[in-house]
Amino acid sequence: MLTVLARDAALSAIVALLDRGSKAGELRVYNERSEPLAVAQLSVPAFATPRGGATVSNAIASAPIQTTGRATTFAFVDGDGHEVLTGDVGVPGSTANLIFPSVQWTKGEIAEFEPYHITMPE
């Protein structure tokens, strides 16, 4: 079992990866063909300092939806485009890692992002 100190250290190392690179990191949401539906810029730093084995993202900018489709997966990437965290997209009540009111997205609309929470398991 990891102590809180170890969990905070692990999270610090992971989220620090998002702040490296030539520009701010991004949150990318993809459709079923792995094409980007929206690309949102992360704050610098991307996440708050971990406390108690958990952290939360700082502000994630809204982003225009680039194409119509079904949101299925996402990736947090560093400023050079390297994936750091990935997962699936779903609606409330699902077991997805990133939740939106709807996974059907329409080109030209704006994607809004809630703060993203990460908890390091014990």
Contact indicator for 64, 108 with CB cutoff of 8 Å: yes
Residue 84: CB partners within 8 Å, gap ≥ 6? Answer: 14, 17, 18, 25, 75, 76, 77, 78
**First-to-final CA distance of the chain:** 5
For the residues 23-50, what does the mean pLDDT come to? 97
Q: Quick: pLDDT tens for 56-113.
A: 999 999 999 999 999 999 999 999 999 999 999 999 999 999 999 999 999 999 999 9
Secondary structure (3-state) at 12: helix
Dihedral (CA of 74, 42, 100, 50) sign: positive
What residues make up the domain containing 80? 4-119
Q: Residue 122's pLDDT band (boundaries 50, 70, 90)?
A: very high
Number of domains within the chain: 1
pTM: 0.94
The pLDDT score that the predictor gives to residue 52 is: 97
Give the C-alpha separation, 75 to 53, whole Å. Answer: 21
